[in-house]
Amino acid sequence: MSLSTIRLPLSGTSIKTETGWTLSGCLPPSRSLTSIAIDADSFVIGRRPGVNLQVSSARVSGRHAELLRVGDHLFIRDLGSTNGTFVNRRRVRQPTPIGDGAHIEIADLEFRLEMRKSTVNFSPLKKTAECIDTMESEWILSQFDRLIREREVVSFFQPIIDLENNAIIGYEALARSTVPGLENPGMMFQTAQMVSREVELSLICRQRAMEGSTQLPTGSRIFVNTHPMESLTIDLLPSITVLRRKYPETPIIVEIHEGAIHDPKMMGDLARELRDLSVEIAYDDFGAGQARLVELVKVPPDYLKFDMCLIRNIHEADPQQRRMLKMLVDMARDIPTITLAEGIENQNEADVCRELGFQLAQGYYFGRPMKVDQAAAFAAIQQSKVASGM
């Protein structure tokens, strides 16, 4: 459920609604009327196991169509199905905004889209509110086109700290935007997903990060992110090669999510290619899903970033959890790999991470993501503190 407020400029009335999207239709084999809650931001319908709504119709493709929630708006897109997706009898050929009462056909299945609401501060101008909602849905796609066309990504930099002396050794580059409706990375990449442009957006984020990094202290290590949809060889490697040519002296570390590290041979080939470019690798979010210890040993990264779920409130954890974490830290350091604790929010967590043997740290306790000019000023202050022994 989501809580939204729609302001109607003509009357000044505020309508607050709790909304929940549902599909109503007759599913095979029983063909009895069923109501299905759209309970995920990416809701996939198809015949294949593992989708959000699995239907047993031979005319439905394995992954047939997808419903995408962006804020309070809902879109539908066809996933390359054989027999098509239709909204109000029109075939869907691109991400299309849909609203309450829409008639949806998935091959030979039919659904009605409904938005269940409980409304507070009722206003008689409901129809106006729905028109505004549809206009906003279409508007956000045009905003995304502008973001890509004009490269309106703003890089923020979060400091990475040496736990031994609290010196800043580098920064993780994080994407933001000044485009209305797409200010944060979640909204940017959700919208990119609707139009299958996640890779294009990821490439722009790295380019903008490296452009901004030139204003940071010389020698700062710049940790840049990747997207799971990127091919490591087709998308990532060529883009990093170009960046290395443009920024030959900047230490670059490529962060790869641990969920993408599933092919040790491919990772080994990529690691060799990147190291030939003097570019290092970090495995990101270690421990958030599967630990992937086999890949860690077979293709050791230069840096291993332990996910904040392992770090949060570690000072309150029982001895067994601390022993487990220390074992992982010791194993990584023996490889050898530099260990980094993510998401540190207070001194107690920082102190325990030092005791466990972490070498680097990142989190709000040491500094929030900042615009590049703020990050440069913060670095000067931090350097002064380190030099004075504070």
User: Looking at residue 137, what is its pLDDT?
Assistant: 59
Q: Which of 12-21, 186-195, 326-335, 380-389 has the highest mean pLDDT?
A: 326-335
Contact between 307 and 343 under an 8 Å Cβ cutoff? The reply is yes
User: Looking at residue 9, what is its pLDDT?
Assistant: 37
Contact between 169 and 157 under an 8 Å Cβ cutoff? The reply is no
Return residue ranges of the chain for CATH 3.20.20.450. 151-387
Contact between 187 and 374 under an 8 Å Cβ cutoff? The reply is no
DSSP state of 31: T
In tens, the pLDDT along 199-248 reads 999 999 999 999 999 999 999 999 999 998 888 888 999 999 999 999 99
d(CA 289, CA 258): 8
Q: What is the DSSP string of 164-227?
A: TT--EEEEEEEEEE-STT--SHHHHHHHHHHTT-HHHHHHHHHHHHHHHHTTSPTT-EEEEE--
Crossing angle for the helix pair 198-213 and 185-194, to the nearest 10 degrees: 140
Among 1.10.10.10, 3.20.20.450, 3.30.1370.10, 3.30.70.1170, name the CATH number for the domain at 151-387.
3.20.20.450
The token duo for 113 is 């889209």
Return residue ranges of the chain for CATH 2.60.200.20. 2-120
Residue of 16, 9, 111 whose CA lies nearest to 67: 111
When mean pLDDT is compared across 170-179, 212-221, 379-388, the lowest value belongs to 379-388
Residue of 41, 18, 194, 42 whose CA lies nearest to 115: 18
pLDDT band (50, 70, 90) for residue 30: low
- Give per-residue burial for 207-217: e unless 16+ CB within 10 Å, then b: bbbbbbbeebe
User: Looking at residue 10, what is its pLDDT?
Assistant: 37
Into which CATH architecture does domain 2-120 fall?
Sandwich (2.60)
Contact between 44 and 53 under an 8 Å Cβ cutoff? The reply is yes
pLDDT band (50, 70, 90) for residue 19: low
User: Looking at residue 194, what is its pLDDT?
Assistant: 77
Average pLDDT over residues 89-115: 87
In tens, the pLDDT along 253-308 reads 999 876 567 777 888 899 999 999 999 999 988 876 555 666 677 888 999 999 89
